[in-house]
Amino acid sequence: MQQTTFQLNSENYHSNEANQHYMSVSQFKSAMECEAKTLAEVKGEFTRPPSTALMVGSYLHAAFESDEVFADFKEQNHQSIYNNRGNKYKDYEKADDMIETIKNDEFCMFALQGEKEVIYTGELFGVEWKIKIDNINHDRGFFSDLKSTQELRKRYWSEKYNTWVSFVQAFDYVLQMWVYREIIFQNTGRYYDPYIVAVTKETPPDKAVLHFDTTRFDFEKEYVQTMLPSIIEAKLGYKTPHRCDKCEYCRATKKLEGTFEIEYLLD
């Protein structure tokens, strides 16, 4: 894609215009699920239905960005967080438990020390990317991302890896850390160490600080390099985007032209 003069900042980072100019980890992951839905979102033709899980995730992240940001988030989303009696919904009560679990652990808080919500741009395989880092510590040369999960040791079957994997691989957090690490290097001239601060939704919550064997990144680099051209061709209008025929966008826009053999139902 051609170089752009688009001025990226915290206000427009998630805008359709920014997503048209830049690739991002979330856009790449979404396109791997369904190119048609992703490009409809980028063009502003489709808006993903509100998700409690995404809202709770934003609530969790806001708590560690700053007290002011957290207070503003709660005020702006008051109706989603509190019921008519002024009590928090159970999902947010659980999130409060997770927040306290992290805040009461000195090592977790050490891993979250640094500058918050830092934006960088860079180039990977001829395509401009944007990243927004939860936490980056320039003095110590690391960056970290807060993730919530059901259980630390829950196993997921992955078609991408063709084996059972942890939540870190299942939700493409290894891929995210590789992209972030490369873009940070392009901006600083230094390879920073990535960490995930993980907290579970169990009662009481479990926690861990996870590091990465950097040899894992070799596969992610090859994977992005292999899959990216199809996404960019669709984004530039050179081909019809692939439809998954399963997501909310595909269900809403599906036009039947014939019958399917019943094996189709197992795809």
**59 near 92, Cβ under 8 Å?**
yes
The phi and psi torsions of 10 (rounded to 5 degrees) equal -65, -25
Q: Could you tell me if 212 and 194 are in contact, meaning their C-beta atoms sit under 8 angstroms apart?
A: yes
Contact 111, 134 (CB under 8 A): no
Give the whole-angstrom CA distance, residue 64 versus residue 67.
8
Is the pLDDT at 10 greater than 80? The verdict is yes
Q: Does residue 23 carry a pLDDT above 80?
A: yes
- Write the single-letter amino acid at 229: P
DSSP E strand stretches across 54-192: 115-124, 127-137, 142-149, 156-158, 163-165
Q: What does DSSP say about strands 193-200 and 142-149: parallel, antiparallel, or unpaired?
A: parallel
Cβ distance 184 to 143 under 8 Å? Answer: yes
User: If we measure between CA atoms, which residue out of 172, 62, 184 comes closest to residue 133?
Assistant: 184
- The DSSP string of 80-103 is HHB-TTSPBPHHHHHHHHHHHHHH
pLDDT reading at 216 higher than 50: yes
For 104-135, what is each residue's pLDDT tens digit? 999 999 999 999 999 999 999 999 999 999 99
Q: What is the mean pLDDT of the chain?
A: 94
Q: How confident is the model at residue 62 (pLDDT cuts 50, 70, 90)?
A: very high
pTM here is: 0.92
Q: In degrees, to the nearest 5, what angle opens at C-alpha 139 toward C-alphas 192 and 188?
A: 45
State how far the Cα of 21 lies from the Cα of 10, in Å rounded to an integer: 15
Per-residue pLDDT tens for 146-175? 999 999 999 999 999 999 999 999 999 999
pLDDT band at 7 (very low <50, low <70, confident <90, very high): confident
Q: Identify the band that residue 5 occupies on the pLDDT scale cut at 50, 70 and 90.
A: low
182-191 mean pLDDT: 98
User: What would the two tokens of residue 51 be?
Assistant: 């998700």
Asked whether the predicted pLDDT for residue 11 surpasses 60, the reply is: yes
Strand partners, 209: 197
pLDDT above 90: residue 38: yes
The answer to whether the CB of 125 falls within 8 A of the CB of 224 is yes
Helices 173-188 and 25-33 pack at an angle, to 10 degrees, of: 150
pLDDT score of 4: 53
What percent of the chain clears pLDDT 70, i.e. is strictly above it? Answer: 98
Report pLDDT for 1.
45
Residue range 16-49+105-257 forms a domain whose CATH class is alpha beta
The encoded tokens of residue 57 equal: 């995730």
Report residue 200's pLDDT band, with 50, 70 and 90 as the boundaries. very high
